[in-house]
Amino acid sequence: MAVVVTKLTGALLFILLLTMVIMALVPKADEAMAKKSGEAAEKPPALAIRTPESLPEAIAGRPYKVALAADGGWGAKAWGVDGELPEGLAFDPSTGVIQGSPKKGTVKPADLVIRVSDGSGRAASRAQLVVYESSTALTTPSRWKPGLPPVPWRAWMEQGFGFLVLMMVHMVGMNAVSGMERVSTSSTPETARSKRFLAYRMTLRLASLGAAAGLGAWLWKSRLG
């Protein structure tokens, strides 16, 4: 009986000692885990630029705007661009926006280096910007007179729309003269009436021929210019 009591007492003492050790270690483990979680919460993700290396293409003479992008970091971001931007474009370091209207196309892509920094770190990335020339005129050419629309000469020459309009105007004018002649049959002698309306017809024909010649000369000059 005494042996059993001694064994039970020893077992209880061992369990009590093990419990005390565990209770002493648990707070330290909790503190370590809390410290690690706090450090993870305080440390932001690494700063990284997300703008692709090939920036969206620009077209000479047309408005252009692109905003640079980055992930991670801590607090407000300060941007920078190293390299020469195409003429007509400007960069705002506070917003990270490139905007403006390029003056002309680029022979080769403009090589740039994008930089960003914040309270925790810095990041940099290479980028390229291409400016294309527009295939159509964006402003009225200097050869056009004020008020004269820059109609493509090729469409006029191939389709003959301008000459068709002149022909229709000529036909309407000739019909009007014939109608006037019929109306005046009763009030004007035939000889005087014939001379007068013959002069009207000749004037109308000359005016139509002059307009057609002027249109043809304008189209030919536009083709050569």
What are the sequence ranges of the domains in the chain?
48-132, 153-224
The per-residue pLDDT for 4 is: 45
Q: Does pTM top 0.85 for this prediction?
A: no
The per-residue pLDDT for 153 is: 53
The per-residue pLDDT for 5 is: 44
Please state, in angstroms and rounded to a whole number, the distance separating the CA atoms of residues 182 and 39. 105
* 10-residue stretch averages of pLDDT, the chain, 225 residues long: 52 65 58 56 76 91 91 83 92 91 89 88 91 65 52 56 77 80 66 73 85 78 61
Strand blocks (E) in the chain: 48-49, 58-59, 64-67, 70-71, 78-82, 89-92, 97-100, 110-117, 122-129, 131-132
Q: Which fold has domain 48-132?
A: Immunoglobulin-like (2.60.40)
Please state, in angstroms and rounded to a whole number, the distance separating the CA atoms of residues 162 and 219. 10
The per-residue pLDDT for 212 is: 81
